[in-house]
Amino acid sequence: MFTPPISSRVRSISPSATKEMPVIAAQVGNCLSLGQGVPAFSTPEHILDAVRESLARPETGVYSLQPGMPALRQAVADDFQRRRGVSFDPGTETAITVGAMEALNITLLTLVDKGDEVILPSPAYASFTEQVLLAQGVPVHVPLDEQWQLDLDAVRDAVTDKTRAVILCSPSNPTGAVFSDETVRGICELAREKNVMVIADMTYSSLVYDGFNEADMVHPMDLKWMRSHLVTIFSFSKKYALTGWRVGGLAAQAPLMHEIMKVHDATTVCAPTVSQVAALAALNGTDEAAQEMRVELERRRDLCCARLDELEEYFDYVRPGGAFYVMARYRFSDRSSREVAEEMIRQAQVITIPGGSYGPGGEGHLRISFGADLPSIDAAFDRIGRWVRGM
């Protein structure tokens, strides 16, 4: 039987544990999920109304312009100006993509050649690693400290003449950590000094707690001297409950954007027009629903932490300042996080994500998402408690 040739690029990457754990759980049945990063909120009604109205228009059923609907790119530029006081040319410096995932992928395919290195704080979002490998680059994992903060000296030591970029995601997936302003500035200064790009993933930037908000934090785009060294990735998924609509984008200086758009055209042509309509409605509407979701997620964070505190004999953790994840270190086993996560599914019927899938810094941990509703979080921890106490 003929065996199709598989490229070395594909052989170098692994399936996402975030997607594999629910598959195992489906075989077990009756599982509760503290796994995949999907906040349990419905898409706001004003966005759905705009989409419904658009379905009667012929242009909704055809391709948009390759970099995205002009009205949406203008709204993105206006949003950056309003929230951060930063100007981007909507026609040449912004683009809409099939989620932030595509924006990350096409950026890395543009910047990284075979053997080039990309620095990833570890633990880091698993797809960062796989996308660097898909670009035939080398992911360089730099461990975070015990509070999940970046060690600037460790990042400096990791930079070589092959380093092309540092990926910065704050608040972080999977740790929920919010990097300090000093750290963000330090990474940017190092990038400029070493002529390295910073890829700033803003997916969770609106989800910060404990009295802070996005405006309180320094972002690389705030530093005007960083413009030539920066690609900003953004997403509508988490802030506006649009995960299934698959719409995000990026902002970068025009010459680099021109090159990135070549890859965008070769892969997806354009983001779905109907999803862009949803994103435009999100930006043109009020932030009331987004703020309500943030308040509710903070409540869920507090419940998740309280339930972990009840299990301090079995877990410890760093309280997350943002996103909707906790990296919980388990005390009850010396087995790999993959083995522990699978056993939890099979014996406790609760889905978590093995921390080792986020790089070496995550081994010995389980990523717990508090995106689910409060009763589901409570029920899942009831099951976990019975399981660990019955060992």
- Enumerate domains of the chain plus CATH numbers: 8-43+289-389 (3.90.1150.10), 59-284 (3.40.640.10)
What confidence score (pLDDT) does residue 227 get? 93
What confidence score (pLDDT) does residue 391 get? 77
List Cα–Cα distances, 355 to 84, 196, 325, 330, 339, in angstroms: 33, 28, 12, 10, 11
At residue 261, does pLDDT exceed 90? yes
- Alpha carbon distance 212, 193 (integer Å): 31
- CA 130-18-241 angle, to 5 degrees, is 105
- Alpha carbon distance 33, 35 (integer Å): 5
- CA 90-85-39 angle, to 5 degrees, is 80
Strand 94-97 to 353-354 pairing: unpaired
At residue 212, does pLDDT exceed 90? no
Mean pLDDT of 319-326: 96
- Alpha carbon distance 319, 167 (integer Å): 23
What confidence score (pLDDT) does residue 215 get? 83
Model pTM? Answer: 0.94
At residue 266, does pLDDT exceed 90? yes
Residue 307's closest CA among 210, 207, 390, 383?
383
What confidence score (pLDDT) does residue 31 get? 96
Of 34-48, 175-189, 222-236, 299-313, give the lowest mean pLDDT range. Answer: 34-48
What confidence score (pLDDT) does residue 188 get? 97
Mean pLDDT of 358-371: 95
Mean per-residue pLDDT of the chain: 95
Mean pLDDT of 267-280: 97
- Alpha carbon distance 214, 108 (integer Å): 26
Of 21-25, 211-215, 256-260, 375-379, give the lowest mean pLDDT range. Answer: 211-215
What confidence score (pLDDT) does residue 262 get? 98
Per residue in 147-167, pLDDT tens?
Answer: 999 999 999 999 999 999 999
Would you list the DSSP string of 261-323? HHHHHHHTSS--HHHHHHHHHHHHS-SHHHHHHHHHHHHHHHHHHHHHHHTTTTEEE---SBT
Amino acid at 224: K
At residue 19, does pLDDT exceed 90? no
At residue 38, does pLDDT exceed 80? no
Mean pLDDT of 101-113: 98
List Cα–Cα distances, 376 to 138, 167, 344, 346, 382, in angstroms: 39, 33, 16, 18, 10
What confidence score (pLDDT) does residue 32 get? 96
Of 4-8, 12-16, 107-111, give the lowest mean pLDDT range. Answer: 12-16
pLDDT above 70: percentage of residues in the chain: 100
Name 330's bridge partners.
Answer: 315
Q: Are 201 and 169 in contact (CB under 8 A)?
A: yes
Strand 230-235 to 138-143 pairing: unpaired
pLDDT above 90: percentage of residues in the chain: 91
What confidence score (pLDDT) does residue 287 get? 87
* C-beta atoms surrounding 216 within 10 Å: 10
